[in-house]
Structure 1
Amino acid sequence: MWVVVLVMLLALSSGSHSLDKLNMCMDATHHKVKPGPEGQLYLQCAPWRDNACCTANTSAEAHNDNSYLYNFNWNHCGAMRPKCKQHFIQDTCFYECSPHLGPWIQPVDQTWRKERILNVPLCMEDCHDWWEDCKDEMTCKSNWHKGWDWSSGINKCPDGSKCRKWTDVYPTPKSMCEQIWSNSYLYTTHSKTSGRCMQLWFTGSNPNKKVAEYYLNNAQQHHSLTVTSLLFLAVSSLSVLS
């Protein structure tokens, strides 16, 4: 029995997180199988052009209202102002194009995707700027992932809901960033210069690879420490029994 336990623990110790997680695409509707250069990425998606999980067509559609990507209606409680909408476009580009989300990708059983992101640590500036530019909008839901009325083919506010001020639905940047997409994002107090948070907005080379590498290495270290502790306990128990 103890031999089996040791073999299993050794297997765990060798099965550390793959470095592929530093450069991978989600298994989702519009994502490429593997990341690579996309020189023609459109407008706000252009920062990912050197290495992207999105195609040029996807990047263009990310900028359109009710695009074929998800047929999502940003204007469900009246026309959304451009300064607010630009954050949702950037959010879509980040989700569709980023090749460095591996540490936060989780399996899901949904018709439109097999994987999602969960608790991606978002830089404080991005979250605060998003909330600040949208605080004068209206919405009828706190979680935009589910619960809509899709009977017309696009999302409408469900029966019994009403349009409310953004700040009533999301009183803080934290509440908005964490609730709006079912905890896809995790609010942090880290700044963009910290190297500990993912940036929706950036210019030049993509800073998020180093951030993903930091979290992946931390996860590997935690995994190694856990396995080492279990191995020590197993060996100790074997010596007592022998």
Structure 2
Amino acid sequence: MALGRARLLLLLVCVAVTWAARPDLLNICMDAKHHKTKPGPEDGLHEQCSPWEMNACCSVNTSQEAHNDISYLYKFNWEHCGKMKPACKRHFIQDTCLYECSPNLGPWIQEVNQKWRRERILNVPLCKEDCQNWWEDCRTSYTCKSNWHEGWNWSSGYNRCPANAACHPFDFYFPTPAALCSQIWSNSYKQSNYSRGSGRCIQMWFDPEQGNPNEVVARYYAQIMSGAGLSEAWPLQFGLALTLLWLLS
């Protein structure tokens, strides 16, 4: 009987080590300007932010402001180089919704010393199609900078192009989709080599009727950061467990 219990315990330990994930990285909100303290349901999130209604870090008011030009959120003017094409603007609205509403960015949250936030995201792996579509839809709109986090002229109360910064099509400042995703918000994102639905990259766009795919992605990277190793390593650890059980028999 004792030997049987030992075998069971050993197996449970191996499985637990394989699938362990840091709970402090899951289902959390950033400590930032407009984020809620904890995620939760939010009925009535506005338009492109609505996929997060079941569990959101943003309020209804924040979701509404995310759709407005020069909103009170950050006084940021997307159209600093003239009218932005609607297809392009949709990506920036979705980007804002992801940033403000998602409770699944924990593995990429970093502490920062900034007046308007204490935490930021760094190198979130966006699915390659999301980066590619963002770039394709924006390449003929205009901008004057490759890093939109800093270097603007704020004298008017909202961002304007700095002196001697010429307006060019997006693909002048962002020659590739990867450049757009990584550079525009100071490496908040990076283009992943994985595709949508892989469970290995964060989706900016998803159908809430099918559930939130980013929950699985966050758990996968939280497992890696726990020190437990890649979840793909479970066959090796399971094999080790079987070997140890055989040695105990």
Alignment coverage as a number of residue pairs: 209
- 3-state SS in 2 of match to 1:178: helix
What does 1:1-242 align with in structure 2 at a 5 Å threshold? 18-204=22-208, 205-221=211-227
- Structure 1 CA distance, aligned partners of 2:151 and 2:31? 23
Is contact 2:21-2:228 (8 Å) kept? Answer: no
1:107-126 CA distances to partner (integer Å, 9 max, x unpaired)? 00111100000000000111
| TM-score (ref. length: structure 1) | 0.84
1:189-220 CA distances to partner (integer Å, 9 max, x unpaired)? 20012110000000121110110000010111
- Structure 1 CA distance, aligned partners of 2:191 and 2:223? 21
Runs of 4+ with >6 A deviation? none
1:58-91 CA distances to partner (integer Å, 9 max, x unpaired)? 0000000000000100110001011000000000
1:7-63 CA distances to partner (integer Å, 9 max, x unpaired)? xxxxxxxxx974031110000010000000001100000000000000000000000
| TM-score (ref. length: structure 2) | 0.82
- Structure 1 CA distance, aligned partners of 2:86 and 2:43? 26
- Structure 1 CA distance, aligned partners of 2:144 and 2:228? 41
- Structure 2 CA distance, aligned partners of 1:126 and 1:60? 22
Long gaps (5+) in structure 1: 1-15, 224-242
- 3-state SS in 2 of match to 1:106: strand
Residue type matched to 1:85 in 2?
A: K
- Structure 1 CA distance, aligned partners of 2:58 and 2:169? 33
- Structure 2 CA distance, aligned partners of 1:213 and 1:22? 7
Residue type matched to 1:75 in 2?
A: E
- 3-state SS in 1 of match to 2:110: strand
Is contact 2:153-2:162 (8 Å) kept? Answer: yes
Identity of counterpart residues, as a percentage? 62
- Structure 2 CA distance, aligned partners of 1:123 and 1:157? 30
Q: What's the C-alpha RMSD, in Å, of the aligned pairs? A: 1.4
- 3-state SS in 1 of match to 2:215: helix
- Structure 1 CA distance, aligned partners of 2:145 and 2:21? 36
- Structure 2 CA distance, aligned partners of 1:57 and 1:47? 15
Residue type matched to 1:88 in 2?
A: F
- 3-state SS in 2 of match to 1:177: helix
- 3-state SS in 1 of match to 2:157: coil
